[in-house]
Each structure stands twice: as structure tokens, then as C-alpha cells.
Chains A and B, each alone.
Chain A
Amino acid sequence: MTGRVLMAAAMLFLLAFLASPESFASLFKPFTRNNAPAIYTQTGLMSLTLSHLGLVLLAVIASTLIAVTLAILVTRPSGREFLPLARTVTSVGQTFPPVAVLALAVPVMGFGAGPTLVALFLYGLLPVFENALAGLTGQSPQVQEAARGMGLTPRQRLWQVELPLALPVILTGVRLTAVISLGTATIGSTVAAKTLGELIIAGLLSSNTAFVLQGGMVVGILAVLIYEGFQRLEQLAAARIGQG
């Protein structure tokens, strides 16, 4: 209960801050030096936030769709051949540093939102894929057997049994991806993507801690909200299949 109140308060604070950052100027003034501005005005905070979220949303949707599809493919009898490979690639891929992936995408994509999107997408594939795989392969054989025994076709089994049962675990993967992407997207500003990282980098360049704090705060609150939101979704999904 207190959790819910805190979340609501955090959300309201964030909205108020984004709608009218100037009214919070006094809060951040102590962190500036030499009368530097306390609030970043180069680009609107709201628009930076929206563009940041848009980038993350796009990347997460794309990685979720592709990763779940791939996980379904490699868990079908016809795709089993790819399963060991997929596992190896996933575990190795996750050791690739996101910043390196981002930097390496630049020669292919040029500067701007492109490489960030690609890096977020590639990096986001792995947690979702890993969890989808765990969800789809970790189901009790009895349930599968029962579904077969009742005469469900493979396609019906997938949609009516396997995916609903795997949903909570898949959502956990999506949550991990979303939270990682939210943080990694800030680094996208080093390759000129329009994200909240712009604010932080501006702060770093002009030694203006207020900017750094604002950027960190907005991303941090967003991450907590998204994290909590997903957790609630996962609980709902788990409750529906009787694991809540």
C-alpha cells in the first residue's frame, strides 16, 4: 500500500517537474556554480524525456517481438537444432558491453538515433530471449502431455498453453530489457541521439551538477516506475496461471 502511494507521489513529482522545470529551479540552484542556470533550457526537458522514452519503447517492442519469435522457433521440433547455439550466443552476447555495442554501431549507422536504437535493440534481445526460452522450456511435461491428450494442435498448444504459462517469465525479461535500455539510452547522447543523456553530458561539459542530477533523477524515477509497473503486470500474469 505504502509502495503504491510512493509510486504515485514519484509519478506526480516527475510530471510536475517535466511540465514546469522552472518552478523547481530553487531546488537545484545550490548545485550550480558561478550563477550558471539551474535548469537546462537548450532543449525542452519534456521533449527530451519523450524522445528518450520513444527510443526505448521502440527498441523494447522490437527486441521483444523478435526475441519471443526466435524463442518460439527454437523451441519447436523443427527449430530444436538451433537451441544449443541459441543458448551459447545468448550467454556470450550478454557479456558484450552495451557501450561497445553502441560504439560499434556508429560506423554502420552513422551518428544520431540510429546506432542507439540498434544497440538498444540488440542488447535488449538477450534478456527477453533468455527468459522466453526459460519460460517455454521449463514447463511441466504433464501439462504438455495433458494438452496433447486433449487433442490440441501444436499451434493451439502454443497459444493456449505454452505462451500463457511462459508469460510471467517473459515479462520479467522485458522488464530487465526496459530498465537496462533506459539507462543505456543516456549513453546514446554521446553519439548525438536525443535522449536525457544530453542533459547529463551538458552538465559534465559545463561542470554543472544541477544538470547531471536532473538527468539522473528523471531517468532514475522513470526506471523505478517502469520496474514497478512491470512487476505488477508479472504478478497479474502469474496470478492468472495460479502462481501468484
Chain B
Amino acid sequence: MAFRISRTGLLFALIGLAGLALPFVQFKPNRIVPGEGLRLFDALSLPLGWMIGLVLGAVLIAGCLERWPARLRLTVALLSVIAVTLALGAAATQLTPPDNTLARVSPSSGFWLLLLAFALMLADAQSRITLGLPIRLAMLIGAMVLIAVILGSGVLDGVSVMREYAARSDLFAREAAGHLVLAFGSLGLALLIGLPLGVAIYESPAMRRPVLGILNILQTIPSLALFGIMIPIFGWIAANIPGAAQAGVAGIGLFPALVALFLYSLLPVVSNTLTGLIGVNPATREAAAGLGMTRPQILVQVLIPLALPVLLAAIRIVLVQNIGLAVIAGLIGGGGFGTFVFQGLNQTAMDLVLLGALPTIALALVAGIALDLLVEATGGAPKGGQA
């Protein structure tokens, strides 16, 4: 049996071995002083560090050989991701002197590279096996449960991000809720307004150019500016229009951010609604009318079900985009995870930046994958495309 070298495996090995050679964690006696980088072998107590390091190294090198079945590689890569994560937690616990609340252990380049190497191995193995929808859904849920278990178990509690979290867990819950309200609330608003608008311009083609033109221009305004413009506009409305303030309109806080995100979401929703409706076979539409369906019946029973995959694709685009853009709300006091990101940037406290950035990324990933699955389940193209 000839051993062929797998070049993807080789790439992962290079990344991973570099990760083993580079500092795994950054140790700082307190938050201010510059830290000291420690490799995996040095970060963990003597036998453990070497054992984990050697096993991971062996996996990486073995991965260079061609003949492993994809399912095995998938499992091994998953276990390795877990091992790297747990090693981080262990290193943090071991390095931090007991009862010391000042010392900080944060993940460093070595950790990120190892994580990247095994995540790539995981992605590669997964893309080579065709798994059914239910299995992939189960995998997504499984991954979320796994993360929850690891975070809940406390093994990572020594890591700097988690210590930042522990210091402000109430605040975190509030900003998380704020972030979700921003992302999902703006999506809900966009659907509420965008769907009827899409249907309207479908029914009257003359309106298409002006409506889409305006929404397109809205899209070109940089997010930062759009958020900024909302503040005085709603401030003025709240102050000058009777009843507006009581109805929740305000120039500060969540409201302007919500509206800005809503405005950004309109184009994908409206244009995809139109595309989806136009895409319905004219013969089908004609048949529906010919059979005596009323206009609303045609819309609800025929057009919308058939346009559903395209509509879901719009929801995917909007949700992923808004989860990301909602970070900017942190800059104008709109809440959400962006609060931590920008606080962290201001104080050059990277752990705080991570506390905001990591959950945002995780949320966007989960939303993206979950909606991809949904689009696929309703018979659309498997990957979420561009607007």
C-alpha cells in the first residue's frame, strides 16, 4: 500500500505545527503590563503539556496521509478542537496563582492557529461527505450544546475573556439581549414593511425602478453615518411630535440603531421578494388565475410558497448582516455586543474586545448555518448568496 501525501492535510499540518511552535497563551501578571508568551508545552504542567502537544502533533502529521476515511478525520478533528479548547482552560487554571484576580491568561497566536488548523480539517472532512439535512441539523445543535457544556462546566473560567465575563455577567446578559433585539427586531420590521412593498412593486412594475433605486442608495450610506444620522432625526421627532416619545421613539439608545438596521435590511427583503415572485413560472400563475383563484389566493397559496426559498435567502442575508452591523450600535450607545468591543478598543483591553466579538461571530455563524439548512429544506440553493 503506497502512502500518498494529502496536500490539504499538509496545509493543516503546517498551520497546526506553527501553532505548536508559537506562544499558546499570553500570561500577564495584571491587566496593564505587557505579557509573556508561553508555548503549549510550557503553558501546561510537565507531563500534560507534552502529552497533549505530542498527540496533536501526531494527529496533524498523520493527517498528511491520504488514506484516512473522511468520517474518521471528522471525528478526530472535532476531538482535537475540543482538546485545544480544554488545554486553553487548563493552562489558564494552572498558570493563574490561586486567589489572584489580577493575573490574565489570554489565548495567543499558537492557540488560534491550532484552532484554525483543526477547524479547517473539520470543514474539509465535512465537505467531502454528503450528509443528510437532519444529520447536519443535529450536528449544529450538537455543536451548540457542546459549547454550552464547555462554557458552563467552568473549565475555561480561568481564561481572560471568561474572567471579563464573570466580572460583568449581568451586563453581558443585557447586551446579549440588546443585540438579539437589534438583529431580530430589525429583521422583523424589515419583513413587516419589506414583504408588502416587494409584493406592491411586483404588482406595479412602474414602481420597481424608483423603489429599488432609493433602497440601493440607502445601502450605499456607510453604516456608521446612517446610525449617526438617525440620532438627530429621532431626537427631533421625539421632542417635536406629540405622542412620539410616549410611543418609544427616542434619539438615544436602542431606537435609532434599530431603525438604521431596519433601513439596511429593506433592500435585500424587497428585492428578493420581487425576484422570488418574478421567478414563479408564468404558466403556474396563469393556471392559478384561470382556475378562478382570487388575487389574494394566488399570492398566498401559490406565489409566496413558491418564492419561499428566495425569501428565506433574504432572511439569511439580513440576519447575518444585521448581527454584524449591530456591533456598530455599541458606538452610539445603542447597546449590544458592540458595547464591549468599543469599550475594549478604547481601553486597549483586548479581552473585552473578544468578549464582544466572539459571541457576535458565533451568533452570525449559527444564524447563517441554520438558515442555510432551512433554505435547503424548502428546496432552494444550498448556499446563501448575495443580495
Query: What is the interface of chain A, defined by CB distance below 8 A to chain B?
Result: 31, 81-82, 84-85, 87-89, 91-92, 94-100, 103-104, 106-108, 127, 176, 179, 182-183, 186-187, 189-191, 196-197, 200-201, 203-204, 207, 209, 212-213, 215-216, 219-220, 223-224, 227
Contacts and interface: CB of A to CB of B under 8 A. Distances in A.
Query: Which 6 pairs show the lowest CB-CB distances between chains A and B?
Result: A97-B324, A216-B225, A84-B127, A212-B228, A95-B368, A223-B220
A68 B368 CA distance: 25
Given A104-B353, A219-B225, 13 more contacts: A31-B232, A85-B123, A88-B123, A95-B369, A97-B327, A100-B357, A183-B220, A186-B223, A207-B232, A215-B225, A216-B222, A216-B228, A227-B220
Nearest to A225: B220
B111 interface: no
B315 to A, nearest CB: 14
Interface residues of B, number: 52
A106 B350 contact: yes
A97 B127 contact: no
Interface stretch (B170-178, B268-276, B336-344): B336-344
B221 A95 contact: no
Contact of A187 (B126, B323, B328): B328
**Most chain B beta-carbon contacts within 10 A, residue among A100, A107, A108, A182:** A100
A33 to B, nearest CB: 9
A99 B357 CA distance: 8
Interface in B307-342: 320, 323-325, 327-328, 331-332, 338, 341-342
Contacts of B8: 81-82, 85
B321 to A, nearest CB: 8
Nearest to B108: A107
Given A182-B222, A216-B229, A92 B324 contact: no
B101 to A, nearest CB: 22
Interface in B335-384: 338, 341-342, 344-345, 350, 353-354, 356-357, 360-361, 364-365, 367-369, 372, 383-384
A179 B109 CA distance: 31
A99 B222 CA distance: 13
A182 B224 CA distance: 12
Contacts of A224: 217, 220
